[in-house]
Amino acid sequence: MFGQVETVLVKGTASYVSSQNVYVKYASTDGISKGDTLFSQKENVLTPCLVVRDKSSTSCVCISLLTEKVVVGAEFYARVPKKEALQKQENEKKGDKSRPARDSVQPVATNPVVVTPESEDKLEPGFKQKIRGRVSAASYSNLIGAKETHRMRYAFTLQGNNLGNSRFSTDNYITFRHTVGEWQEVKDNFSDALKVYSLAVKYDLDKTSSISLGRKINQRISSMGAIDGLQVEKGLGNFMVGGILGSRPNHTDYGLDFGLLQAGAYVGHSTQKDAKSQQTTLAFIEQRNGGAVDRRFVYFQHSNNLLKDLSFFGSMEVDLYEKLNGEVKNNPSLTNMLLSLRHKLSKKASISLSYDNRKNIIYYESYKSYIDQLVDDETRQGLRFNINYRPMKFVTWGANASWRFQKSDMNLSKNLNSYLNFSRIPWIGASASITANFLQTNYLDSKMFGVRLTREIIPGKLNSDAYFRMVDYSYKNYEYTVKQKIAGLDVSVNLTRKLAFHVYYEGTFEKERDTFHRVNMKLIQRF
């Protein structure tokens, strides 16, 4: 049945990743339907990665089939009927104004031979405006017995590239949140309610050189987080050089803090040839606190396709400054490191191995349940092994094991997680997943089993996601055991092409406690 329609692959990129969804941006989502599978491509081999849960005219909201987190900028391919891709290509040849923006789409035949459109360099100006954004209003309600809390969150995001076909671009992500009935807390600490995660303007000197001013994460040295101030980068063929000058956000409320000054410079090199690519960044950074040196360190990052089916990523920070009991030392000390290897065994199987000893992440906002946050905190660091296997077209199995260790065994953690995904169940027109997780730490043992079902009820309008989990965890020091049953339902409605409404409910049921209810509602307007 699936072989009756000839298709091509259309490329999109991950534009945003939340705790539950992955947003993939396309020039157009024509030909993509809810429930479709999106693939990654390497060495002309397609691997199922995402399932389309909802879509707009240019973006797909997806559920990940991967155990590892999707990164922003990752490329995913969708199969669309060939006639639609050819029509799009024909529009490009005619100079149609509705054709995709530069570098956002590349049809690829499934054999896979590249279907090359006319060169867009000749059809477009050097800098073309592209604007996308959204505003949202959401409520997060927690109810247990007679107690209830209601939090409100408003968000604004805007990415405006080459405004008015100029060299100026802007990037904004701002949120405001408060608890109903507790407005005095907002007055007492406004910076805790208003979070500016990104607010910057960029000027392109040319295609490879730019100047940025404001708050922005530099992808060349992304582990440093947001940088407040001036950032400059200059491209020199395969090399690039850059510098930063400014400050770090305040650690407690993420506000501006000019007492945390920092400055640094970096050099990078990147190459791309056929299917092989590599990128390297070396940076030197000095950070101060109240005028005194706080950190002075070297940052190194490298990614590389070592062999045909073997890829590597690594990053590390080496501190060069230490002041202990008034004595300054400049002995190198490794403080952060991440190493990752991924090997494609065949078209159906892949494995990966990673080691992570980076510092803990600070969450200024988190809406995860207690048990989900617990698993994240206890399994992020340490040694991790992962395997993925696709025994048949719409079935994927995977497992990962992690081990966090220290010489003293004071912070030991062992975790085993496995899943089985069905991206398409023809009898009910849905996708499903089954998961199991086992966690063991010095103070806690836990077991979790879950099942999730996703189904489009009204094509293009109404989508649902239901799940059920059984959780059993015990605290060793207190001989205290908790057994929970967790059920949830997520419904999304597309009111218009760019206006959507989401309702989410989760109930946590225990024998000796009142039921804990979580109800979230969100209204999103895209533009």
Please indicate, yes or no, whether residues 20 and 120 belong to a single structural domain of this protein: yes
- How would residue 330 be classed by pLDDT, with cut points 50, 70 and 90? confident
Rg for the chain, CA atoms, rounded? 24
Please indicate, yes or no, whether residues 107 and 215 belong to a single structural domain of this protein: no
Residue 290, pLDDT > 70, answer yes
pLDDT at 6: 57
Name the domain boundary from 74, 102, 124: 124
For the record, the structure tokens of 399 come out as 């497992």
Whether the CB-CB separation of 511 and 482 falls below 8 Å is answered with no
In a domain, residue 52? The reply is yes
pLDDT at 477: 76
Residue 518, pLDDT > 90, answer yes
- How would residue 177 be classed by pLDDT, with cut points 50, 70 and 90? very high
Please indicate, yes or no, whether residues 334 and 228 belong to a single structural domain of this protein: yes
pLDDT at 407: 63
CA distance 54 to 463: 7
pLDDT at 126: 63
CA distance 410 to 412: 6
CB atoms within 10 A of CB 89: 19
Tell me the backbone φ, ψ of residue 342, rounded to 5 degrees. Answer: -130, 130
Whether the CB-CB separation of 162 and 130 falls below 8 Å is answered with yes
In a domain, residue 516? The reply is no
In a domain, residue 20? The reply is yes
- How would residue 115 be classed by pLDDT, with cut points 50, 70 and 90? very low
Residue 106, pLDDT > 60, answer no
Which tens digits make up the pLDDT trace of 367-385? 676 667 767 777 777 899 9
Whether the CB-CB separation of 250 and 256 falls below 8 Å is answered with yes
Cα angle, residue 64 at apex, residues 303 and 438 outer, rounded to 5°:
90
Residue-averaged pLDDT of the chain: 83
In a domain, residue 199? The reply is no
In a domain, residue 425? The reply is no
pLDDT at 58: 83
pTM over 0.75, yes/no: no
Please indicate, yes or no, whether residues 120 and 13 belong to a single structural domain of this protein: yes
Please state which of the ranges 47-51, 180-184, 498-502 shows the lowest mean pLDDT: 47-51
In a domain, residue 93? The reply is yes
Please indicate, yes or no, whether residues 110 and 221 belong to a single structural domain of this protein: no
Please state which of the ranges 314-328, 364-378, 444-458 shows the lowest mean pLDDT: 364-378
Please indicate, yes or no, whether residues 23 and 117 belong to a single structural domain of this protein: yes
Whether the CB-CB separation of 432 and 459 falls below 8 Å is answered with no
Exposure letters 99-134 (e unless 16+ CB within 10 A, then b): bbebebbbbbeeeeeeeebeeeeeeeeebeeeeeeb
pLDDT at 298: 94
Name the domain boundary from 305, 321, 346: 346
Name the domain boundary from 346, 371, 397: 346
Which tens digits make up the pLDDT trace of 407-432? 666 678 888 999 999 988 877 888 99
Residue 493, pLDDT > 70, answer yes
Q: How far is CA 76 from the centre of its chain?
A: 14
Tell me the backbone φ, ψ of residue 295, rounded to 5 degrees. Answer: -140, 145
Whether the CB-CB separation of 263 and 294 falls below 8 Å is answered with no
Mean pLDDT of the region 53-82: 82
Looking at mean pLDDT, say which of 3-12, 63-72, 119-128 comes out highest: 63-72
Q: Looking at the 3D structure of the chain, how many domains does it have?
A: 2
Mean pLDDT of the region 242-256: 91
CATH number at residue 112: 2.40.10.170
What sign for the dihedral angle of Cα 214, 219, 224, 226? positive
Please indicate, yes or no, whether residues 222 and 111 belong to a single structural domain of this protein: no
Which ranges in 270-369 belong to alpha helices (H)?
none
Q: Tell me which residue range forms the domain holding 223.
A: 208-346
Residue 435, pLDDT > 90, answer yes
In a domain, residue 413? The reply is no
Which ranges in 304-390 belong to alpha helices (H)?
370-379
In a domain, residue 518? The reply is no
CA distance 380 to 367: 18
If you search the block for the tokens 């879509």, which residue do you land on? 55
- How would residue 29 be classed by pLDDT, with cut points 50, 70 and 90? confident
Please state which of the ranges 156-160, 290-294, 362-366, 447-451 shows the lowest mean pLDDT: 362-366
Please indicate, yes or no, whether residues 234 and 117 belong to a single structural domain of this protein: no
CA distance 343 to 351: 5
Q: How far is CA 237 from the centre of its chain?
A: 29
Mean pLDDT of the region 278-301: 91
